[in-house]
Copies of this chain bind each other. A is one copy, B any other.
Amino acid sequence: MSLSDVSKRLLLGRKLRSTQLGETLLPKRIALPVFASDALSSVAYAPDEILLTLSLAGLAAYAYSWKIALLVAVVMLVVVASYRQNVRAYPSGGGDYEVATVNLGPNAGLTVASALLVDYVLTVAVSISSGVQNAKSVFPFIDGHEGWVAAIAALLLMALNLRGVRESGTFFAIPTYCFMVGILGMVGYGLFRILVLDQNVQAHSAQYGIEPDPRFAAFNGFLMVALLARAFSSGCAALTGVEAISNGVPAFRKPKSRNAATTLLLLGTISVTMLIGVITLANLTNLKLIDLGHSYYTLNGQRVDVLEETAIGQLARAVFYDNFRPGFYFVIAATMIILFLAANTAFNGFPVLGSILARDGYLPRQLHTRGDRLAYSNGILVLAFFAIVLILAFKADVTALIQLYVVGVFVSFTVSQLGMMRHWTRLLKTEHRPEVRGRMIRSRMINAVGLTMTGTVLVIVLLSKFAQGAYIAIIAMAVLFVIMKLIRRHYDAVAQETALVEGEDRMLPSRVRAIVLVSKLHKPTARALAFAKAARPSTLEALTVDVDPDETARLKKVWEEMGIDIPLKVVASPYREVTNPILDYVKNVRSESPRDVVTVYIPEYVVGHWWEQILHNQSALRLKGRLLFTPGVMVTSVPYLLSSSDKAERRMRRDDVPDVRRSLHR
């Protein structure tokens, strides 16, 4: 069973129960890597962000790094505990959007949805950018071209997804476990060398001093608080992706909720261990990071220009490069791969969320139906487009992108926890069994703590990052919210306009008057005439526009010679145009007998290539578009299949088989 099926299945929840997808369920050891790649991958950049933000205040501030990491860890554990309640309450895998919509109403749901859509774009941008930053440790020539390299990587990922990559659970499991082994192994071996073997393991950047940002150099009072808040907010990037498991409950083996909850706890523990481990090792190896352009490396008091490596790159180099070189490459490779996998999950999740929103009338309806490769492809293109815009605009600078990233996640966390509070309160109203009530009250307590915590972090994030870039994310969310709201309003208005009203005029039209449009007499026309005749309309006539008198005369002659028993009407066109004379004629027919339906038969060429489409049917298409605006008129296309259409049909059929079906057929 492919992963894409799983993740689609999860998010779509109940809807898919009827299909045969339901058979294979994931054991915890596969479910963990499948859902955790996004969450775990954020360990690749969260420690960097803590350290380089602190660097703005110089070396002294580094003393706070482990405290901030601990704080992030605490938030992580609280969020995990809260989501364990979500998982139990909503085993359908509806995710935060469902929790918010059900408990707090459509506006809350739409807020979460806007935040999630923006976050998918940022997941792609941040993950790929971080992957490229890490790649610099092995390919230093990337330095200075990060933006373009990351944009090309995003394009590749887009192309893969457009072609339809199907990863199996195992495909995800191996790199995720590699990443865990790599990071934890590096931390373990590093600590072993330092603490047990008492070796002097130093990061490359240990030799440098830091020239702080002059604004923060004093590092006291309000500015210090602001800087620590910013470092903490950036560190909270480690929490992105935690909510994925709550969307995935239906994919777990039974007992689903319990297994999901256990996996969530496992994920939280591993994440926290890795985060604290990396920060500890960074402190022990005197690793330094700078926020280039604001703080600088110094050597003997002079600014130096060094290739900036990520924390993981520097640590892997310090721990493994001279002792066990393969370990260095392994850690870098695993980090790069898990970051690209994290970006890939966004490519899977974005169209799925779009489909749910379309179902609820917030996005164009055709996005709802699965198997529509076109809609799915559009989702991938839109996601890739905005991600690439961000990557290029911020030159793949993870630090700059992170300023936009964390807001959405915490909006989603906070609204979801508020929803869960409501959920328990509502259930408690009707529940009377004391032992159940006890459990509910306990759950509500946990969600209350979660709400307080995530809400506080959201406020901190907003305050410390708004001007740094978070405002861009917030504007994007607001725009999405308004657009989706307007789409829904439009659909509602149309539904009201088109609703059948009891007792309203449902008079049946009495007769059908058929008109076959004729430009010349060839097989397509002959077919249209035959089909129209077979339909036995009340009246039937052929209509041609006299654009060229010679041609019209020729047509009339052939018409008579072939003995066609359908009258041929010729309408004049003094201005050598086609559309208006036909429209006028049809309107006239219609007004002569308003109770009849007029059906206009248009012979159409069916061709195989897009460029053939340009050469044919353009007038027919235009005419059709205009005829549809005439009340009481139907337009019937009578296709004539040119030989080139044959291959195209097979090609389309192949392309059109939905991913799901194709992957099952393998």
Q: Is the CB of A634 within 8 A of B512?
A: no
Which residue in B15, B579, B642 is a CB contact (below 8 Å) of A494?
A: B642
Instruction: A649 to B628: give the CA distance in the assembly, Å.
Output: 10
Q: Does A143 contact B (CB under 8 A)?
A: no
A301-341 CB contacts (< 8 Å) to partner B: none
Q: Is the CB of A536 within 8 A of B536?
A: yes
Q: Is the CB of A524 within 8 A of B506?
A: no
Q: Is the CB of A637 within 8 A of B639?
A: no
Given contacts A575-B658, A577-B372, contact A626 B638 (CB under 8 A): no
A508-532 CB contacts (< 8 Å) to partner B: 508-512, 521-524, 526, 530-531
Chain B residue with the shortest CB-CB distance to A364: B615
Chain B residue with the shortest CB-CB distance to A534: B509
- Hey, what's the 0/1 contact readout for A595-624 against B, CB within 8 Å counting as 1? 001010100111000001011101100101
Q: Is the CB of A626 within 8 A of B641?
A: no
Instruction: A497 to B506: give the CA distance in the assembly, Å.
Output: 45
Q: Is the CB of A535 within 8 A of B535?
A: yes
Given contacts A509-B534, A629-B641, A634-B531, contact A580 B526 (CB under 8 A): no
Q: Is the CB of B535 within 8 A of A522?
A: no
Which residue in B364, B498, B547, B656 is a CB contact (below 8 Å) of A523?
A: B498
A552-608 CB contacts (< 8 Å) to partner B: 562, 573-580, 597, 599, 601, 604-606
Q: Does A636 contact B (CB under 8 A)?
A: yes
Given contacts A495-B522, A656-B579, contact A636 B636 (CB under 8 A): yes
Instruction: A20 to B605: give the CA distance in the assembly, Å.
Output: 35
Q: Does A370 contact B (CB under 8 A)?
A: yes
Chain B residue with the shortest CB-CB distance to A355: B576
Task: Collect the chain B residues with CB atoms within 8 Å of residue A140's CB.
Answer: none
Chain B residue with the shortest CB-CB distance to A603: B498
Task: Collect the chain B residues with CB atoms within 8 Å of residue A657's CB.
Answer: 580
Interchain Cβ contacts under 8 Å between A and B, 6 examples? A365-B616, A365-B619, A499-B522, A499-B523, A512-B536, A634-B638
Add 19 more A-B contacts to A498-B524, A629-B645 (CB < 8 A).
A365-B615, A365-B618, A366-B619, A369-B619, A370-B575, A371-B576, A371-B579, A372-B579, A497-B643, A500-B522, A500-B562, A506-B526, A509-B531, A512-B535, A512-B536, A535-B597, A575-B658, A635-B639, A636-B636
